[in-house]
Every structure is written in C-alpha cells, then in structure tokens.
Amino acid sequence: MKILLLGEFSAFHSNLKEGLLSQGHEVIIASSGDGWKKINSDLKIGTNREGILGKLESLINIIKVLPRLKGYDVVQFIDPVLFPKFLGINKSIVKFIFRNNKKTFLVAAGATSKISVIADFSQNRFKYPQLYQQIKKINPDMWSQTQKGRHYNTFFLENINGVIPIMHEYAQGFRDINYPKLCPTIPIPMNIETIKYKENIIKDKIVFFHGLNREGMKGTPLISKAMKKLEETYPNEVMCIIDGRMPLEKYLSFLETVNVVIDQAYSVSVGVNGVYNLAMGKVVVGGGETEFLNEFNLSESPLLPIKPDVENIYQQLEWLVKNKNEITNMGLESRKFSEAFHDYKKVASQYIEAWNKY
C-alpha cells in the first residue's frame, strides 16, 4: 500500500510510519516539523517562520511538493487545515488531494481550533470545560466555530472516507452527532524498540517533572502550585522540575533523569507525551480515567488520574512520596502497558484494517 501521512503532531505520524514500513508499505510524511519540536519529514510543507516571509516560504514549499501529493492508496491528515487559509489556498490543495488519491482519512488528535465537532464537544459536553476555555484564550477567534470554519469542516468531513480518533476526547463529539464515517478509536503508536527502558530507580530524591507545552491547556498553573507545595513539604525527599520547549531528542534524553511525570490536568486519556513517558518506564500522573478505560475496553492502566484541582494533584503526588518504594515497579508496569497497548507495529495493523474497511 502506498501511503501519504500529512502533518505531524509530536512524532505521531513518524511512529506510525515506522510501524507501517515494518509491514512492507511505502510511506511518505509531509509536514512542517511540528514547530520547535523539529521532527523530520520526507517532504517539507509549511514553515515555522512568522509574518509575510513565513507566508512566502510556505507557498514556495507547497509549490515544490504539490506534484508529490497525488497517486496514493491512502492519504491521512493530522488535521483538516495544513496549508495557508488565505486566498482559499488550503481548500484548493485539499480538493486536489481528494481528486488525485484513492482514500483520505482524518486523525482526530486535538486541533480543536480547526475541527468544529471537537470544539463543540469540548465546549459543551466534556467533563472539564476548563480545557476549552484555555484553548479559547490561545485562539480567541476559534476559527472552527466561525461560519467559514464550520462550512469548511462540513465540506471536509463529507469528502473524506473516515475519521480515526486517538482517544475519548476526540471520539465522543463525532458519536454525539452520529457521524457515519467514524472509525474505531485507535491507540497512539509508539516505536518502543527505539525508546530505552531503564529501571525507575530513585537516587537522592524523587524527581518530579512537568513539561512546558501549551501551559494553559495542560493545566500548568495548577500543577505548578501543587509541585511547589510538595517541594515545600518534602524538601529533602523531592525535586520538582518544570521545563520544556525542547527538541524531541533532547527531551527524551532529559527524561532519563526523571522518576515521575505530571502530564496534564484536563485530560481523561493519555496523549503522545504521556505515551513516551510510559515507554521509558516513568510513573505518569494524569489521564487514565473511566472514559479512557471504557474507550479501549480496559479494566485498568498504570496512569494515575488527577482532577484539575491543586489539592487533588498535591494529594496524588504526596501519595507517591509516601509510597516511593512502589515507584520502581510502577515504572515497569508503565513499560509493559506501552508494549502491550501502544506498540507501533500492532497499532499500524489497526490503521491498515480501518483504511481497508472504510
């Protein structure tokens, strides 16, 4: 099968590509590198520059790669708007892709400001409305909920073959509207063979870490307060670090020094960052709630759920301090879970099944 993966999100498509290649498929990724994460791709679309120069560079890159965006059995979008919206450029290119390829799919993996169905669910029916409020702060116009955005989304969803969600938050909105092309939710792929597992051993102190990336959406202000309180209460037992915006390779190297990762406070599931941490054998705090378990028909997971409340987060972190002898085994369970549930080859097979069925 000849496959084009359009766009990137925390190396999601890179990990999926490796799983597909292992099964003998021909795979090309076209992306801008996902901003400061600097993730490699086969074809460069878009740009990380701002302003007029950025628009110009983006157009030049698109013109260069356009002839190579056709002739595939499957094209998968990471979100429905990957090209400049001005002058109707994005819609024109998307129409070109629809005409010149056999099947097209959308991965529902965030993109709330671009996908109307997800935005509506996040605003009106998701259990943590704070998430939508934080996204709105970053995207005050919320294009996905403008008339133009809704019109484009209707066009896009009518013309693709299917939507493949990666978690409950991105599946439920499509279920609520009875979207007829909704595929089964598929876990996040991770090439665990390239991620080193080291036994999660506590050295002088328990190292707690929270990564800076989309701070409001992750609940960073709440997590920061809980971490500060923990450090004040247990100064000789814990070290709390908040840092971020590192290229992916540097980030993964840094994580080797960490015992516990507080991922995010407004999610019931686990995202790409959390899966990286699970694969490395870290204790992951955040996600793993009932909705996540039900979405994938799981009875349990190694994730430690938290609520978007400083005291609740603090209590969960304090429990780890008081039960620090459990951390090594909890880290091993994290690794086992990632191997069983997020293995890139197993997940790639699920994508092939969905692409063939829909």
Q: Which residue has the higher pLDDT, 52 or 256?
A: 256
Q: List the one residue out of 227, 182, 239, 243 whose CA is nearest residue 317.
A: 227
CATH number at residue 327: 3.40.50.2000
Question: In this structure, are 334 and 352 located in the same domain?
Answer: no
Residues 6 or more apart from 322 whose CB is under 8 A from it? none
Domain range holding 158? Answer: 2-189+344-357
Cα–Cα distance for residue pair 182/180, rounded to 1 Å: 6
Q: Please give the structure tokens belonging to residue 207.
A: 């190292």
Cα–Cα distance for residue pair 339/354, rounded to 1 Å: 21
Q: Please give the structure tokens belonging to residue 135.
A: 């996204």
Cα–Cα distance for residue pair 99/76, rounded to 1 Å: 14
What's the predicted TM-score (pTM) here? 0.93
Q: What total number of domains does the chain contain?
A: 2
Q: List the one residue out of 351, 248, 263 whose CA is nearest residue 301.
A: 263
CATH number at residue 74: 3.40.50
| DSSP letter for each residue of 84-148 | --GGGHHHHHHHHHHHTSSEEEEEESS-TTT-HHHHHHHHHT-S-THHHHHHHHHSTT-GGGSHH
Question: In this structure, are 158 and 232 located in the same domain?
Answer: no
Task: Kindly indicate the confidence band of residue 34, based on its pLDDT and cuts at 50, 70 and 90.
Answer: low
Q: What is the pLDDT of residue 38?
A: 65
Question: In this structure, are 279 and 353 located in the same domain?
Answer: no
Question: In this structure, are 130 and 85 located in the same domain?
Answer: yes
Question: In this structure, are 85 and 197 located in the same domain?
Answer: no
Question: In this structure, are 10 and 142 located in the same domain?
Answer: yes
Summarize pLDDT for 114-138 with one digit per residue, the tens.
999 999 999 999 999 999 999 999 9
Q: Note whether 282 and 211 are within 8 A (CB).
A: no
Question: In this structure, are 172 and 23 located in the same domain?
Answer: yes
DSSP code at position 10: T
In single-letter form, the type of residue at position 166 comes to I
